Amino acid sequence: MKKNLYKIRFTLALFVAMLFGATNVQAQTTYDLWIWGTQVTEANCGNLAPLADATEGTMTYSNSTKTLTLDNVKIDKSGSINSINIIRSSIDGLKIEVVGENELKNNGWSLIDINKNTTIQGSGTLNIVNTNSDNFGIYVSASATLTIKDCNVNIISPGGAIHGLNNESLVFDNAFVKAKGSKNGSIYGFANITFTNCVISKPAGAKVYNRAICYADGSRIKDTVKIIPPYNLKIWDTPVTEDNCGDLAPLAGVTSGAMTYNNSTKTLTLDNVNIDKSASTNFINIIRSSIDGLKIEVVGENNLKNNGWSLIDIDKNTTIQGSGTLNIENTRIHDCVINATTSATLTIKDCKVNITCSGGGIRGDSNGDIVFDNAFVTAKGTNSGSIYGFKNITFVDCGIAKPVGAKVYNKAICDAGGNIIKDTVKILPGSYYALWIWDTPVTEDNCGNLAAVAGATDGTMTYNNSTKTLTIDNLKIDTVGNKNIIKSCIDGLKIEVIGENSLKNNGWSLIDVESNTTIQGSGILNIENSSNDIGININVSDTLKIKDCYLNVTCPGNGIRGGGNAYLIFDNATVTARGTNSGSIVGFKNITFVDCGIAKPTGAVFNTLKKAICDVEGNIIKDTVKIELGIVNNYYDLWIWGKQVTEDNCGDLATVAGASEGSITYNNLTKTLKLENVKIDRTGNKNIIRSSIDGLKIEVVGKNNLKNHGWSLI
């Protein structure tokens, strides 16, 4: 019994010893990280600075985040040659967090040695110096990837600043790095070297070649390699950095002048620069920017030429400004001169910009804006368009001076017909109205005396923009040329006629309007064109109203012409119109008479099929059409054998139809066409009855016989 008691006590003691032993093992958890040869454990990870004999700062390790933090650490092990790393890691995913100013020195093995993926990062600076000629600053092995990100790292080590063993990778991500390895090379031995948002700034022409960073000729660099984040700006495909920004001219092959960039003001200055890249086709922009708020300052006379991609390419808000001139030319037909993408706003302000391109002039991506602010601009894009692809085109203290009738339409600057202009668009400073007198834009400056602009020999012509009124007062103009005396795109323009006015031309139409316009007043307007063109022309689906005035129009071509979908209203007006070759009043979807009507020729009516004033047979009248007060012409959308039914003829339509018996009448109040014992036998491509009256009733009385050899009878 006593022996068993001893056995139980011994077993219990052994169990307790094992239990406490296991606890001690857990307390000594180690990590695959060594500081100056001492392994980091759960016990010492909160204060690692003493392990490396740091004279300042702190060094800690958090295993939960795999983060080794260096906070203003100073370690100097350069006194004698040794075979120890200050930091050695086999932790996959280790982050070395750099806080403040950190200095590591050694005279032996590499200061940092890693064989698993590691990132050096943080807001601070890490300075590494190895005075041993046969070793490295940072050594990477076992196919690991070293990433240096968002921090400053400076390394000097004769054997090699950053060295990979064989299949390792090195990534610089938005990092500031200086590395010098004077004996074997600064950065070498890596299967892959990658740059994300940073570039090799020095030496000039440095490149990744043969697993190292080398000179342009392929030899390994052993002097300082400088890697920095660039500005979001490239000159001829070379990133602009803090090192080269003071002299960018060589990057672009400038033959004269200076090009600099100031990042504090986001200003790229072109000072009398001459660049010609037109000798051969290329796919490079001279200026490529992603800087939001970039200002391109133009000083003196600047000339940029290319035969390739757009010379200026932006995807962020940019302003071209300054006291100088910028001449830009691209000879490549499939591209443009200035390209604005990703909803950027391009502003051209207070400067002169001249653009020519076989392809496009200034091009947007349909979502961005362009603003012309007190600018002198000429733009020509002969293949695709001069200025196009912008959601909004805005003018501040300037406007479109040429071509005449140009307007903003469908995200582009277009001609009067809505076609993108591919010839020169000219924009000049001043307050421009969409009105031209003899091809000269009407502005705030000249609107008070337009008679001189038109070459008037008598009378006055003025424009008031607040009332949209062009007043002609006893004006006499006699000109020759393919220009309009009056050209307007002003919606709601009123041409006020005072006294006796005479406009003569031998060329284009004397009045040409693109928007709703009224000719009105107490006076007389005589218009004569001796050319086979037009007297008054309205192109689009707007309305020309002639009201309360006397108008006389003569022309060998057309008298008053619409574009097919325009509307014409005569309101209490006295008008004569003659177009001896093509028609006196033609090309209108509808013509309305208010308190006036067609007096001559007898039987003349508005024919909706011909869209013109026609005779009783439906022929367009080419002799004088006279419209007088007090005449009522009620036209109905009903035709009998090609002749329109009116208030005058509606009581006897049988004659119109060539009936041999019976009667045909029309009552517009009841919309009833009555056929009573009618006999018609015709041959011809006309309808006996043609109607566009909604709700027409054809009342059949007695026996009616309709025959035709031609088009449908009804």
Lowest mean per-residue pLDDT among 51-65, 244-258, 429-443, 614-628:
429-443
pLDDT at 16 over 70: no
Residues 355 and 338 sit within 8 Å (Cβ to Cβ): yes
Average pLDDT over all residues of the chain: 93
Tokens of 319: 């302003």
Identify the residue whose tokens are 């909706």.
608
Mean local confidence (pLDDT), 63-83: 96
Query: In degrees, to the nearest 5, what angle opens at C-alpha 183 toward C-alphas 105 and 144?
Result: 65
- What is the percent of the chain where pLDDT is above 70? 96
- Whether residue 295 is found in the same domain as residue 172: no
pLDDT at 249 over 90: yes
Domain end, chosen from 201, 228, 255, is at 228
Output the pLDDT for position 234. 96
Which has more pLDDT, 432 or 24?
Answer: 432
- Whether residue 624 is found in the same domain as residue 661: no
Output the pLDDT for position 647. 80
pLDDT at 358 over 70: yes
Within a domain: residue 647? Answer: no
Query: In degrees, to the nearest 5, what angle opens at C-alpha 598 toward C-alphas 592 and 603?
Result: 115
- Angstrom CA distances, 134 to 15, 76, 109, 158, 184, stand at 54, 18, 8, 7, 9
* Burial readout 7-32 (b: 16 or more C-beta within 10 A, e: otherwise): eeeeeeeeeeeeeeeeeeeeeeeebe
Q: Which helix (H) or strand (E) holds 8?
A: helix 2-27
- Whether residue 680 is found in the same domain as residue 564: no
Within a domain: residue 22? Answer: no
3-state secondary structure of 552: strand
Mean local confidence (pLDDT), 225-241: 96
Mean local confidence (pLDDT), 498-524: 97
Mean local confidence (pLDDT), 320-340: 96
pLDDT at 15 over 70: no
Q: What is the DSSP string of 127-168?
A: EEEE--TTSEEEEE-TT-EEEEESSEEEEE-TTEEEEE-SS-
Output the pLDDT for position 669. 86
Number of domains into which the chain is organized: 4
Within a domain: residue 585? Answer: yes
Q: What is the pLDDT of residues 169-224, one digit of tens each?
A: 999 999 999 999 999 999 999 999 999 999 999 998 899 999 999 999 999 999 99
- Whether residue 621 is found in the same domain as residue 574: yes
- Whether residue 247 is found in the same domain as residue 216: no
Q: How confident is the model at residue 12 (pLDDT cuts 50, 70, 90)?
A: very low
Q: What is the pLDDT of residues 388-397, one digit of tens each?
A: 999 999 999 9
pLDDT at 18 over 70: no
pLDDT at 368 over 60: yes
- Angstrom CA distances, 424 to 355, 358, 361, stand at 9, 12, 9
- Whether residue 86 is found in the same domain as residue 178: yes
Tokens of 324: 């100088």
The pTM (predicted TM-score) of the whole model is: 0.70
Q: What is the pLDDT of residues 673-697, one digit of tens each?
A: 999 999 999 999 999 999 989 999 9
Domain end, chosen from 405, 430, 455, is at 430
Within a domain: residue 649? Answer: no
Output the pLDDT for position 321. 98
Query: By C-alpha distance, which of 99, 189, 82, 107 is closest to 152?
Result: 99
Within a domain: residue 491? Answer: yes
- Whether residue 286 is found in the same domain as residue 387: yes
For residue 696, what are the domain limits?
654-710
Q: How confident is the model at residue 1 (pLDDT cuts 50, 70, 90)?
A: very low
- Whether residue 125 is found in the same domain as residue 93: yes
pLDDT at 17 over 70: no
- Whether residue 262 is found in the same domain as residue 350: yes
Within a domain: residue 24? Answer: no
Own/partner contacts of 24-33, CB < 8 Å, gap of 24 or more, are 31/61, 31/63, 31/91, 32/89, 32/90, 32/91, 32/116, 33/61, 33/68, 33/87, 33/88, 33/89, 33/90, 33/91, 33/94
Within a domain: residue 648? Answer: no
- Whether residue 361 is found in the same domain as residue 239: yes
- Whether residue 399 is found in the same domain as residue 277: yes
Identify the residue whose tokens are 């001449």.
327
Mean local confidence (pLDDT), 621-649: 86
Q: What is the pLDDT of residues 252-294, one digit of tens each?
A: 999 999 999 999 999 999 999 999 999 988 999 999 999 999 9
- Whether residue 370 is found in the same domain as residue 456: no
Mean local confidence (pLDDT), 35-53: 97
pLDDT at 562 over 90: yes
Q: What is the pLDDT of residues 124-164, one digit of tens each?
A: 999 999 999 899 999 999 999 999 999 999 999 999 999 99
Within a domain: residue 5? Answer: no
Per DSSP (E only), the strands in 197-265 are 199-202, 207-209, 212-214, 225-228, 233-235, 238-239, 256-262
Output the pLDDT for position 27. 52
Domain end, chosen from 410, 430, 450, is at 430
Residues 325 and 296 sit within 8 Å (Cβ to Cβ): no
Output the pLDDT for position 539. 83
Q: What is the pLDDT of residues 521-551, one digit of tens each?
A: 999 999 999 999 999 999 878 999 999 999 9
Q: What is the pLDDT of residues 640-667, one digit of tens each?
A: 998 888 787 899 999 989 999 999 999 9
pLDDT at 14 over 60: no
Query: Hey, which residues does 98 pair with through a beta bridge?
Result: 70, 122
Output the pLDDT for position 648. 76
3-state secondary structure of 353: strand
